[in-house]
């Protein structure tokens, strides 16, 4: 497939996927809004096959989960936690005070965090969402996750980060619970975190009722390679993406058809040895594209599709990367595979998918701040800006505005 054919295909798929799921998710949201915990329980039974006695996880279960970790695991969490915190603090917005203006930032008060748990547990997503929130100064964090074992690695990670409010619920119903509040789960100001198709759609539909970070749905990667690339490394990069979810998408691009064929051959040879080979088979069957085209059209494709992850493993990486304008995150070179970004690089792995990188960005500390201007106009400035303001107010026919401005000019 070439770049133009791929672009058409990508857009068409997005539209179909969006349309089909709407009705079901809207119904889930409406029931949780009107019936609260009862609806949450009924959907948890239906979709997760679980009937938890209470949604809130007792603190002891979080602590037991953490205590069950090995020394190395505890150290791994702490090393990564510190690395993420350091990176996030380094990009935090700062208050500005200049002349008649101040621009000030404050942390959000109540944040809901979705930690996926359907087909895999993601302690890494705990770190990538909670650490930036805490670094921003958020006081109350409420985490939801469809994880029902009494102790588990997600709970351990939440405990390691100091989160006390954890609820076992998932999917669109958990998002609706955080957006409206139920008997067990409080309403929050903003919901962040990745999830599957239902989670992403619920966030999209509830934006406005609650803040959201972005649409972080099924994961995608676009890998751009030259003929000198380490073939098996690329194969594992592709599998790493594909094993997330049957809907995960992998795009392999090159100007060289031979390298694409060599990678495809090795994929065939290695796929059945993968522990998640059945998910990989499904996602590769429908969502793996091999694209060969010119340099120019490949770069314009990247900017048009704005993939969640772009991995450039090519001798001209610097030049190519300097032309990328829209992407969730760009991984430069052999030692920056996406897998290192998933766990430990520093920037959050919660990134915009499905083309939404054209207008949104990866989760970071600043997503947990809200800001406003403080306007303190002095008399002299007033004298220069009130007359043009009056002219516009007059044209809008808003007389009281005109008078409010005028009276101060006397």
Ligand X SMILES: NC(=O)c1ccc[n+]([C@@H]2O[C@H](COP(=O)([O-])OP(=O)(O)OC[C@H]3O[C@@H](n4cnc5c(N)ncnc54)[C@H](O)[C@@H]3O)[C@@H](O)[C@H]2O)c1
Residue 142's binding partner, choosing from ligand X, Zn ion, none, with beta-carbon cut-off 5 to 8 A by kind?
none
Distance between CA atoms of residues 78 and 347, nearest Å: 16
Closest distance to Zn ion from the beta carbon of 283 (Å): 12
Q: Which residues pair with 223 in a beta bridge?
A: 252, 311
Q: Which of 244, 288, 309, 349 is catalytic?
A: 309
DSSP class per residue in 201-244: HHHHHHBTTBEE-----S-EEEEEE-TTS-HHHHHHHHHHHHTT
Residue 351's binding partner, choosing from ligand X, Zn ion, none, with beta-carbon cut-off 5 to 8 A by kind?
ligand X
| Nearer Cβ to Zn ion (220/342) | 342
| Nearer Cβ to Zn ion (206/350) | 350
Does position 237 bind Zn ion by CB under 5 A?
Answer: no
Tell me the number of residues near Zn ion by CB under 5 A. 1
Residue 357's binding partner, choosing from Zn ion, ligand X, none, with beta-carbon cut-off 5 to 8 A by kind?
none
| Nearer Cβ to ligand X (8/38) | 38
**Judging by beta carbons within 10 Å of its beta carbon (0-12, 13-18, 19+), is residue 51 exposed, middle or buried?**
exposed
Nearest to 113 by CA among 182, 58, 62, 161: 161
Q: Which of 85, 308, 338, 361 is catalytic?
A: 308
Q: Which residue has the tokens 């791929």?
A: 6
Q: Within positions 325 to 344, which residues make up the interface with Zn ion, using CB under 5 A?
A: 342
Binding positions for ligand X, rule: CB under 6 A:
47-48, 116-120, 122, 125, 146, 170-172, 194-196, 198-199, 216, 218-219, 244-245, 248, 308, 349-351, 353
The helix (H) or strand (E) run that includes residue 309 is strand 309-313
Closest distance to ligand X from the beta carbon of 3 (Å): 24
Residue 253's binding partner, choosing from ligand X, Zn ion, none, with beta-carbon cut-off 5 to 8 A by kind?
none
Residue 117's binding partner, choosing from ligand X, Zn ion, none, with beta-carbon cut-off 5 to 8 A by kind?
ligand X
Asked if 164 is an active-site residue, the reply is no
| Nearer Cβ to ligand X (171/211) | 171
Q: Encode burial over 189-213: b for 16+ CB neighbours within 10 A, e otherwise.
A: bbbbbbbbbbbbbbbbbbeeebbbb
Q: Which residue has the tokens 């070179």?
A: 333
**Alpha-carbon torsion angle 289, 293, 294, 300, nearest 10:** -40
| Nearer Cβ to Zn ion (293/342) | 342
Asked if 244 is an active-site residue, the reply is no
Closest distance to ligand X from the beta carbon of 178 (Å): 13
Q: What does DSSP say about strands 309-313 and 220-225: parallel, antiparallel, or unpaired?
A: parallel
Closest distance to Zn ion from the beta carbon of 214 (Å): 17
Angle between helices 153-161 and 123-136 (to 10 degrees): 20
Closest distance to ligand X from the beta carbon of 40 (Å): 10
The Cα-based distances of 90 to 99, 132, 291, 364 in angstroms read 26, 11, 37, 11
Closest distance to ligand X from the beta carbon of 146 (Å): 3
The two three-digit tokens of residue 402, written as one number: 């005109």
Residue 65's binding partner, choosing from ligand X, Zn ion, none, with beta-carbon cut-off 5 to 8 A by kind?
none
Q: What is the binding site for Zn ion (CB under 5 A)? A: 342
Catalytic residues, by residue number, are 308-309
């Amino acid at each position: 497939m070439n770049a133009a054919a791929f672009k058409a295909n990508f857009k068409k798929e997005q539209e179909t996927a969006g349309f089909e799921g709407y009705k079901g998710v809207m119904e889930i949201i409406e029931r949780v809004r009107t019936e609260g915990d009862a609806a949450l329980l009924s959907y948890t039974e239906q979709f997760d096959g679980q009937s938890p006695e209470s949604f809130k996880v007792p603190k002891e279960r979080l602590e037991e989960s953490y205590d069950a970790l090995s020394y190395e695991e505890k150290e791994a969490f702490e090393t990564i936690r510190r690395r993420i915190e350091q990176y996030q603090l380094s990009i935090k917005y700062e208050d500005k005070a200049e002349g008649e203006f101040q621009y000030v930032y404050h942390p959000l008060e109540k944040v809901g965090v979705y930690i996926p748990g359907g087909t895999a547990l993601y302690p890494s997503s705990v770190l990538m969402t909670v650490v930036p929130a805490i670094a921003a100064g958020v006081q109350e964090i409420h985490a939801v996750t469809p994880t029902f074992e009494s102790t588990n690695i997600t709970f351990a990670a939440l405990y390691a980060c100091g989160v006390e409010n954890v609820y076992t619920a998932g999917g669109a119903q958990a998002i609706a619970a955080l957006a409206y509040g139920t008997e067990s789960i409080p309403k929050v100001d903003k919901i962040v975190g990745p999830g599957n198709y239902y989670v992403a759609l619920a966030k999209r539909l509830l934006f406005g009722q609650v803040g959201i970070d972005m649409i972080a749905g099924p994961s995608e990667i676009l890998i751009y390679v030259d003929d000198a690339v380490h073939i098996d490394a690329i194969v594992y990069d592709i599998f790493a993406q594909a094993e997330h979810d049957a809907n995960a998408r992998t795009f392999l691009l090159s100007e060289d058809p031979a390298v694409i064929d060599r990678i495809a051959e090795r994929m065939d040879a290695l796929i059945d040895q993968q522990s998640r080979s059945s998910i990989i088979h499904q996602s590769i069957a429908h969502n793996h594209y091999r694209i060969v085209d010119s340099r120019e059209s490949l770069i314009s494709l990247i900017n048009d599709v704005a993939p969640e992850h772009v991995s450039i493993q090519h001798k001209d990486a610097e030049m190519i990367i300097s032309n990328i304008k829209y992407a969730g995150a760009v991984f430069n070179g052999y030692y920056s595979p996406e897998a290192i970004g998933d766990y430990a690089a520093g920037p959050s792995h919660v990134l915009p998918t499905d083309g939404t990188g054209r207008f949104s960005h990866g989760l970071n500390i600043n997503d947990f701040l809200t800001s406003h201007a403080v306007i303190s106009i002095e008399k002299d400035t007033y004298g220069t800006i009130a007359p043009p303001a009056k002219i516009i107010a007059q044209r809008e026919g808003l007389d009281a505005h005109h008078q409010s401005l005028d009276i101060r000019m006397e």
